[in-house]
Structure 1
Amino acid sequence: MDSIGAGRSDATEILARVFAGADGGAAKLDTPIVGIFGNGAPETLIAASGATPVHVNFGRLDQAAPGAMDAVIEPFVDPEVRIFLNRFAGGAFDGFAGIVFVRDDAPALTAYQYALEWVRQGSARGATPPLFLLNTIHAATAPVRAFNRVQIEKLMDFLAGIGLPRIGDGELAQQARHASRRHKALAATSGSAEDAMMFRIAGRFLPMQRHAQLLEEAMDQTGPTDAGSGVRLGIVGSPLFSERAYTTFGKYGPIVCDLQPFGQVWPGDWEEAETVETMLELLAGDAFCHRISPPNRYRERVVEALVAARCELVLCQLAQTDDTFGWDIPELSRQLDDRGIGFVNLGFRDAQPDDAWLARAGKLIARAAEARS
């Protein structure tokens, strides 16, 4: 944890430890644990059932040592998938009640297919948790509403099958209030770019109310922080949770709109819905999902958010295995240019960018920022 340490508030230090430990701290929770892989799961529904949703695709693995599944994983598979699969095969999630994979998320679908086949072929050792693929559609038609309702019913059946109670709108509404409190707390956070990223991602491994409480305490203990000077930055592209990358970006201005999948698109607004029907409506209309229909709605929503945040310069960064966001770059760049917003394509990078990539990124951002001054 390069940027977090001495001199920080107790709540911030707790958030830092949770962020660093990722799903490794799940064993300390006193509720059943349901793993989540990907954005787009109705986490309030899972939490209302009495479990804690914990994201499973942020773990670490010794890159030097071969994993149990390396021999069958294709080289083009995302690093987060490879790490998850090797940890899955090694028993890291055997204590989980189940794992939900979100079809909307390309790495999640790949992870589900590999994990399911690994279990089906009898290669798994120990008591691997039951697996579930959530496949919702993002459009506003009657057939889609009917299809999505079936998907949610199947999810509720899955949760009941692993020993959790079926819930109604009353239980969902209570959990939605925790989600609303968390949303307000996230909106009120301030500090460095890397701290803001850490604050948000730590919540993927905590009960919602605990996350909200820690965020509130961190802000109470540290007080408001000036966003700093420089150009107003936006981030788009592949999932990113590198502290060093955020430190590099933050040198050139405040990050006011973080739209990569590990940024502010999580948690989704459907988490604050107090009825299942409203939750389904909001989930189906999530325009930050690449599978939204019509497809151009995703790019339109990204531009809307960047403009609303008054971004001056947008940074695009891509994973080596990206096969999703890159298609949007030419048109996105053109639309931002039409609105007077700069766009810098920082190119492909490793899951944890190395010194060379960070140095090159810094030079590109500095050049673009200077051109706007």
Structure 2
Amino acid sequence: MGEEADRSVVVYGHGFPREILWLAGYEAVDETRPDAPVTLRDGSRISALLEPFLDPYVRSFLLRLEQGAFDRNPAVIFLRESPGALHAYQYALELRRLGLLPEDGPALFIFNLLLSPDEEVSVFNAAELARLESFLREIQPRRAGSVRETLERVSLRASLLGQIAQAQSGGRLSGTAAFNTRNAAMHMPLARSIEVLNQLRGRDLRKPPAPDLRFALLGSPLAGGGLHRVVEEFGTLALDLQSGLPAPTPPKDLQQAVLQFSEASLSPRQARPNAFIEALEPLLAKHRIETVLWQVDPTDDLWGWHMPNMRDLCDRMEIGFIDLGFIQAWPDEVCLGEARRRLRGAMS
């Protein structure tokens, strides 16, 4: 990815608000979801300790850490509220303590932002932000450049993500292309991610298709785009939350970035019961969704709990609901074949 990415802070956690790090004056790349499963190398000292039920992203991260993928990065910051992030952090600490991971690897930090609009949570999150900034000052100088310039770039990135989502919803952009590009941009520093998103916006637009069935794809985070291609065999993938939540209103400063994250109703980990499902209702209506497609990873311990309420919401809105079952993070042909069979059966 280049020297700038090598110097960047690595973040781990689905939906990690990188805006916080950018506005704090640090470059950040999101390495939660690699493009492909990490290949196990001969001589791995940790592979036998990684249980079969471990989150696939946690497994891939730990193997990459062992293989030296982040040796040139100053730190890895884990988002506590993200599924699997605490496990990744705890495993990394323990494996390093046992001498199975190098001591001179990146510093490890758990960032415990809470998801709630309550005033007490705001106080707690402010303390967590101060702790993060203190940690960052110890490991790396702030990036050169003005706060104003960073704000402009963060705003431009949010605008591009919004335009891509709008083009996808209108059928002028393939959902597969949008997903793959958003995922790729996660691994890139801010300026490079803007370039890639801007290239997609201008390159892959097409004429709107004839009226077609409009799908929303919800559920566990995916790293491979195979399922998106299957869905587009049956209709328009108008809404896809697999690459993160819709672009928020750009924050005006660092504190607002933290506040926006903590109050985001579209996070499945929101403290208030049913906040996530309630926030989906206007989004499904806005994108004129006719059928929700739901899938979970075989190791899932979050999204499955939302499925009953999601079914109820679809019933109230009089839209379809198709459970695609277990879908791997990087779906193989067997997995995709089963998803295709379920789709065909539900729509026949």
TM-score exceeds 0.5 = yes
CA contact (8 A) 1:172 1:274 kept: no
Query: Does residue 298 in structure 1 map to residue 276 in structure 2?
Result: yes
Equivalents in 1 of 2:140, 2:335: separation in Å? 47
Aligned mate of 1:198, from 177, 180, 189: 180
Aligned to 1:265: 245
CA contact (8 A) 2:28 2:190 kept: no
Secondary structure of the 1:153 match is: helix
Deviations 1:144-199 (A, max 9, x none): 111000000111111101122399xx955532321221122223234222111011
Aligned to 2:53: 76
Secondary structure of the 2:28 match is: strand
Equivalents in 2 of 1:89, 1:213: separation in Å? 31
CA contact (8 A) 2:10 2:31 kept: yes
For residues 24-35 of structure 1, the aligned pairs below 5 Å read: 25=1, 27-29=2-4, 32-35=7-10
Equivalents in 2 of 1:120, 1:310: separation in Å? 52
Aligned to 2:76: 99
Equivalents in 1 of 2:60, 2:201: separation in Å? 33
Q: How many corresponding residue pairs?
A: 339
Aligned to 2:193: 211
CA contact (8 A) 1:54 1:206 kept: yes
Aligned to 2:149: 174
Q: CA 1:67/1:254 → structure 2, altered by over 3 Å: closer, same or farther?
A: farther
TM-score, normalised to structure 2, is 0.89
Aligned to 2:119: 142
Equivalents in 2 of 1:58, 1:296: separation in Å? 27
Query: Does residue 279 in structure 1 map to residue 257 in structure 2?
Result: yes
Amino acid at match of 1:212: I
Equivalents in 2 of 1:352, 1:223: separation in Å? 26
Give 5+ residue unaligned stretches, structure 1. 1-24
Aligned mate of 1:356, from 334, 342, 345: 334
Q: CA 1:353/1:228 → structure 2, altered by over 3 Å: closer, same or farther?
A: farther
Equivalents in 1 of 2:42, 2:225: separation in Å? 24
Cα displacement (A) at 1:38: 0.7
Query: Does residue 246 in structure 1 map to residue 221 in structure 2?
Result: no
Amino acid at match of 2:122: R
For residues 13-162 of structure 1, the aligned pairs below 5 Å read: 25=1, 27-29=2-4, 32-59=7-34, 60-63=37-40, 67-125=44-102, 127-162=104-139
Aligned to 1:19: none
RMSD (Å), alpha carbons: 2.4
CA contact (8 A) 1:229 1:253 kept: no
Comparing 239-248 with 147-156, greater Cα deviation is found at 239-248
CA contact (8 A) 1:40 1:283 kept: no
Secondary structure of the 2:78 match is: strand
TM-score, normalised to structure 1, is 0.83
Secondary structure of the 2:326 match is: strand
Q: CA 1:142/1:107 → structure 2, altered by over 3 Å: closer, same or farther?
A: same
Query: Does residue 309 in structure 1 map to residue 284 in structure 2?
Result: no
Secondary structure of the 1:101 match is: strand
Amino acid at match of 1:269: P
Amino acid at match of 2:256: T
Aligned to 1:334: 312
Aligned to 1:183: 158
Q: Which runs of 4+ in 1 moved over 6 A?
A: none
CA contact (8 A) 2:5 2:188 kept: no
Equivalents in 1 of 2:298, 2:175: separation in Å? 23
Q: CA 1:221/1:141 → structure 2, altered by over 3 Å: closer, same or farther?
A: closer
